[in-house]
Amino acid sequence: MSSTRPNSSRSSLDNSQVDDTAPTPAEWLKERLENARVECALLPHSFIVPRDVQEDLITESRITNVIRAHSSNISEDRAKAYAKKTYQYAPHLFATLAFIKRGADICALLDEGITDETLPLVRKQDDRSALYRKDGTPIKAMKTWQWKHLEKFDRVQWWIISHVFNYGEHYRLDEKTILPFIPLGANEGTLVKKQGGYSELYPVRIHSAHHKFWPNIRQDNKPLVAVKALFSSDRREFERESEILYALGCKDHPHLIKLLATYEIGNNFHLMFPYANANLRKYWEDHATPSFDANTVLWSLQQMSGFASGLSLLHNYKNGEQWWGRHGDIKPENILWFAQDQSYFLSDCDPMGVLQIADFGLGRFHSRESRSRVKVDTLFSSLTYEPPECKMGLPVSRAYDIWSLGCIYLEFITWLLQGSKAIDDFADYRGRYTTDTEIYYDDNFFTIVMEEGVQRATTREEVIDWSDKLHANHNCSQLIHDLLDFTISGLLVVET
């Protein structure tokens, strides 16, 4: 493999030095690598040396200079041969050595067959005499090293080989892996971990040289990524959910969240997604009084149409003839808003941003025989947006999502015509207390009634009334009239 890295023949070290106080090639390289360190956001006092910096610093000419400066007995041709082999097969090994100022040891390690493929070398806690290959073979070239150098090599190698993520891949990482997550910006202190019943979600800023998710973004743009850490250690469940998310992501639907990559450390599974600026609930609150203009109306209708299209893709997802899907927890908190400048995953994004359906963790994918109906006791979702079948203890189908979508549509139209406060007013208007077995409050979109000892569900009267109020709004155009009618008669339909 020929060298294609930058600056391989332009190093200032290639020139003869006349100043006795000038640093040696080894000192110069060590200083540059040290200065390039970036602190890891998740592990205090741990660092990464970014891959792009390594590629810039570790050149054949600099490797040659380090080897030659250490030993005048080695010929220039032999030093160049070692440098070429190092550049091709062991640049990370050499960077680790250079960081601890033992770069010239690369020759003995190469002679022993040690390359980047051998990394990470293993340190045994009960042995201070050597480092080992993964198969337990001791590294002979390090037998004469002092313990402090072995210990430092073991620590620094993890900084050098910090992981690079590729789109659509799963990684089994060592517990010592230093993830390339760098500190958040000063104005990002409000971004905090969020914990649910099945996972916790936290933002990380991934170094641009350590991912290939969005190859066309600027190198100085270090995008935010959402890491979802699962509480369950069930590998089969994780692999099945990941497979489905990847398959849906390959469809490149603009309104379905895309899974970027997954990794596991120990028994802990992690999923990586684009990080959203807000969920739909927060977006409504932050834009409390939307401008009722052509751009806002068109954008809102496009997003609502996108939800339906995305759900259709989800409902009709097939892996051969095995699996059919539904979401199971459609609500504003599970619809994410990405601002235009955060939408790296779209080639073209509306200036108002894009909304994407997310959190498929509660979704279930069923065989052909069971795709229509599943037991209600297998569902864990938001009570406000659940269909009447849940409260009646009846099996639910993919129409579960359709009911929830109708609820979202009605709230979206409320926001569009009257602003975010009206969404709260709507919840209060339809909310009621019940005393069937105990006093509790619900703001469902349906009501359960008993007729001759039989339970029957109807769309809640206050929901119909609210729809009529929206019809009467002076801004309600014919298009919105039609959407309201479709929502009430086509989506908020009680199955019989």
CATH number for the domain spanning 268: value is 3.30.200.20
Mean pLDDT of 248-277: 92
Question: What gap in Å lies between CA 312 and CA 307, rounded to an integer?
Answer: 9
Q: Which of 98-107, 358-367, 432-441 has the lowest mean pLDDT?
A: 358-367
Give the per-residue pLDDT at 422.
98
Give the per-residue pLDDT at 346.
72
Mean pLDDT of 50-59: 98
Kindly state whether residues 264 and 287 are assigned to the same domain. no
CA nearest neighbour of 323 among 235, 404, 243, 232: 243
CATH number for the domain spanning 363: value is 1.10.510.10
Secondary structure (DSSP) of 431-485 = -EEE-SSS-EEE--SEEEEEETTEEEEEE-HHHHHHHHHHHTSTT--HHHHHHHH
Cα diameter, the chain:
104
Write down which residue in 109, 136, 160 finishes a domain.
160
Kindly state whether residues 146 and 180 are assigned to the same domain. no
Burial state string for 296-332 with b = 16 or more CB within 10 A and e = fewer than 16: ebebbbebbebbeebbebbbebeeeeebbbbbbbbbb
Q: Does residue 20 register a pLDDT over 80?
A: no
Question: What gap in Å lies between CA 127 and CA 139, rounded to an integer?
Answer: 13
Domain that holds residue 270: 170-274
Q: Does residue 18 register a pLDDT over 60?
A: no
Kindly state whether residues 374 and 228 are assigned to the same domain. no
Mean pLDDT of 353-372: 61
Write down which residue in 111, 135, 160 finishes a domain.
160
Note whether 364 and 326 are within 8 A (CB). yes
Kindly state whether residues 373 and 411 are assigned to the same domain. yes
Kindly state whether residues 128 and 49 are assigned to the same domain. yes
Domain count, the chain: 3
The average confidence (pLDDT) of the chain is: 86
Q: Specify if 62 maps to a domain.
A: yes
Q: Does residue 199 register a pLDDT over 60?
A: yes
Kindly state whether residues 129 and 185 are assigned to the same domain. no
Q: What is the pLDDT of residues 153-181, one digit of tens each?
A: 999 999 999 999 999 999 999 999 999 99
Q: Specify if 1 maps to a domain.
A: no
Q: Does residue 6 register a pLDDT over 50?
A: no
Kindly state whether residues 338 and 247 are assigned to the same domain. no
184 or 427, which is more confident?
427
Kindly state whether residues 156 and 176 are assigned to the same domain. no
* Token reading at 440: 């509790």
Q: Specify if 165 maps to a domain.
A: no
437 or 151, which is more confident?
151
Kindly state whether residues 239 and 315 are assigned to the same domain. no
* Token reading at 390: 């849940």
Q: Does residue 382 register a pLDDT over 80?
A: no
Kindly state whether residues 270 and 311 are assigned to the same domain. no
Positive or negative: CA dihedral 264, 265, 269, 274: negative
Q: Specify if 151 maps to a domain.
A: yes
Kindly state whether residues 217 and 300 are assigned to the same domain. no
Residue 108, number of CB atoms within 10 A of its CB? 14
Q: What is the pLDDT of residues 316-335, one digit of tens each?
A: 776 654 445 566 688 999 99
Kindly state whether residues 312 and 414 are assigned to the same domain. yes
H helices of 355-460, in order, are 388-392, 399-418, 420-430
Mean pLDDT of 344-356: 84
Q: Specify if 377 maps to a domain.
A: yes
pLDDT band at residue 15 under the 50/70/90 scheme: very low
Q: Specify if 5 maps to a domain.
A: no
pTM assigned to the model: 0.84
* Token reading at 44: 């205090």
* Token reading at 298: 């068109």
Write down which residue in 133, 160, 187 finishes a domain.
160
pLDDT band at residue 469 under the 50/70/90 scheme: very high
pLDDT band at residue 13 under the 50/70/90 scheme: very low
Q: Specify if 2 maps to a domain.
A: no
328 or 12, which is more confident?
328
CA nearest neighbour of 82 among 70, 67, 69: 67
Note whether 138 and 132 are within 8 A (CB). yes
Q: Specify if 138 maps to a domain.
A: yes
Residue 120: is the preceding peptide bond cis (ω within 30°)? yes
Q: How buried is residue 135: exposed, middle or buried, by Cβ count under 10 Å (0-12/13-18/19+)?
A: exposed
Question: What gap in Å lies between CA 400 and CA 380, rounded to an integer?
Answer: 12
